[in-house]
Structure 1
Amino acid sequence: MGERERERAAAARDEVAEADQAAVRAVGLTRSYGRAAPVRALRGVDAEFARGGFTAVMGPSGSGKSTLLHCLAGLERPDGGRVFLGGRELGGLSERELTRLRARALGFVFQEFHLLPSLDVQENITLGRRLAGLPPDPAWLDDLTASLGLAGRLRHRPGELSGGQRQRVAVARALAHRPDVVFADEPTGNLDSRSGAGVLGALRDAAAEHGRTVVMVTHDPVAAAFADRVLLLRDGRVAGELADPTPDTVLARIVRLESS
C-alpha cells in the first residue's frame, strides 16, 4: 500500500470512529429537486447529533429542514455526501436493509398523527414493534404509557381522543421499540400550546431520561426551547447553532437569520 492509500485508509478509519461517537452524523449532504430548474435543498451540510441529545432544527421556509431530516432518517437518499447512524453508513444499504433499520433503530413523529382508526391506543402503540418482529415488552409499555398520561386510555380508539392525546400516542408508538433515534417533523404543528407542551415534554424526557437521541424540525421558538440546542439552516447550509435555547434567544437568532 502506497503513502496516499495509507492516508486515505487512516482518514476513513478516523471518520468512522468519529461517526461512532455520534448517534447521527451528516457529512457534506447535498440534495436537489427537479431537472429543468433544479432547486438545491441541501448544499453540503455537515452536522452531528450526540447520543441522548435533543436538537431542534430551525430556519426560514425553504432552508432545507425537512429535507435534512428525511435524509438523516433514510427516507430520502441524498445526491451527495454521507449519513452515518452510529458507525454505520446508510448509503451502502439496500432499500430492504434501510426499511429493517428504520423499523428497529428509528422512531418517527410527524405533524399528522398517522394512527389507525380501527385500532385502539395499545394496538396503535405496539403495531410497529409487532411489524418489526420484536417480542412484547409489557413493563416498558406500562412505564411508557404512564409517563405519557395514557394509562387510562389504552382501550380507546383515536376518534375518542383529543389532538394532544393522539399525538402522545404517536410519541409512544415512536418509542415503543426503544429506538436509538427519534425524528420529529413539526410534531406540535396541529396542537394548541398546552397539548404541544405535553408532547414536547415527552420528547425531552425521551432524551434526558431514556437516552434516546431526538432530532426535531420546528418553526416555533417555544418548541425549540425544549431542546438542548438549535441547529440553524439557511438556503440549504448550516448557518450556526444555539446551545441552551430559550424562546427569546431562538427568536432573536431567527430574526437575525431572516434579515441578513
Structure 2
Amino acid sequence: MTLQVLGLTKTYVGEALPVHALRGVDVAFPRGGFTAVMGPSGSGKSTFLHCAAGLERPDSGTVLVEGRDITRLSERELTQVRARAFGFVFQSFNLLPMLDAEENITIGQSLAGLTPDHAWRKELVRSLGLESRLRHRPAELSGGQQQRVAVARALVHRPSVLFADEPTGNLDSRAGAGVLGALRRAASEHGQTIVMVTHDPVAASRADRVLFLRDGGIEGELSDPVPETVLEWIRHLESV
C-alpha cells in the first residue's frame, strides 16, 4: 500500500467539551487508487486529510507512507516527505500572482531541490490543456485554468500521493470536470494515489471508491460509485 493509516485519533479542546475529530480510523490506499472522502460537516474528513498528509499531527496512531511512519518524524524530516512524496491541491488555487503559469508549476520542485523531468512536465502540461497558457499569470487565467495549473504543480514531481481538498469547490461544472479528469488520469494512467475530500456526489463518482466519515469514524465504503448511490449514502448519514 502506498498510504496506510492505523488507529488515527485527534481531539480538539472545545469551549465546553472536547471534540473527538478522529476516533481510531483505519484505512489503506493502494497505489494508483482514487479515493473520495465524504461526510457531513464535522465528520472529521478535513482533519483526516490533514493528519494523513502530515499537515497536522494526530494524537495517536500511525501514518505509513511507502512503509515509513511519518508520525515519528521530526518537523524537518516531515517537510522533506511532504515536498517529495506528496502533492496538494486545495479549493483555493494558492498560485503566486507574480509568477506565470510555468513558474508556478515548477517553483515547488525548485525549492525542494528536485531534479526536473522536462519530458514529464511537457506531457503533464499537454494533458491538462495548458500549453498556450504557460506565459500567463494567474490573473489572466480562468478559475478552471488556475486549478489545472495547481494540479500540474502537485503532480510535476511525481508524488506517491496527491491530496485534494474540495478541488472543484470554486469551479463551475465544466471547469470542475476538467480538473476531475486530470485527477482520474493521474491515478489510472500514471499510478498516482489520489485522496480527495469532496461534498459533491458527481466529483465523488469519478473515484474508484468513496469513504464515508461520521463523528470521526468510517461509517462505510462504496465501490464503483455513481452519483445516485453516493446521494443515497449522504441521505443515510444525515438521517442517522
TM-score by length of 2: 0.98
Runs (5+) with no aligned partner, structure 1:
1-21
Instruction: Give the CA deviation at 1:258.
Output: 1.3
Aligned match of 1:57 = 37
Which of 192, 195, 213 matches 2:175? 195
Percent identical residues: 71
Counterpart selection for 2:230 from 232, 250, 256: 250
Q: Deviations over 1:34-56 (max 9, x none)?
A: 16521110011111111110000
Residue aligning to 2:4: 25
Q: Please state if 1:168 is matched with 2:148.
A: yes
* Residue deviations 1:140-159 (CA, integer Å, cap 9, x gap): 11100000000111111000
5+ long unaligned stretches in structure 2: none
Name the CA distance, whole Å, in 1 between partners of 2:155 and 2:25.
27
Letter aligned with residue 254 of structure 1? I
Instruction: Confirm whether residue 229 of structure 1 aligns to residue 233 of structure 2.
Output: no
Contact 2:38 2:197 (C-alpha < 8 Å) held by counterparts? yes
Shift of 1:135: 1.8
Q: Does 1:180 align with 2:180?
A: no
Secondary structure of the corresponding residue to residue 184 of structure 1: strand
The match for 1:136 among 116, 120, 130 is 116
User: 1:136 & 1:237 partners in 2: Cα distance?
Assistant: 39
- Tell me, what secondary structure is at the counterpart of 2:212? strand
1:68 equivalent to 2:48? Answer yes
Counterpart in the other structure of 1:37: 17
> What SS is found at the alignment partner of 1:91?
helix
2:82 aligned with 1:102, yes or no? yes
Q: C-alpha root-mean-square deviation of aligned residues, in Å?
A: 0.8
* Larger-Rg structure: 1
Residues 203-234 of structure 1 deviation map (CA, whole Å, 9 limit, x = unaligned): 01000000000000000000000000001100
Scaled by the length of structure 1, the TM-score of the pair is 0.91
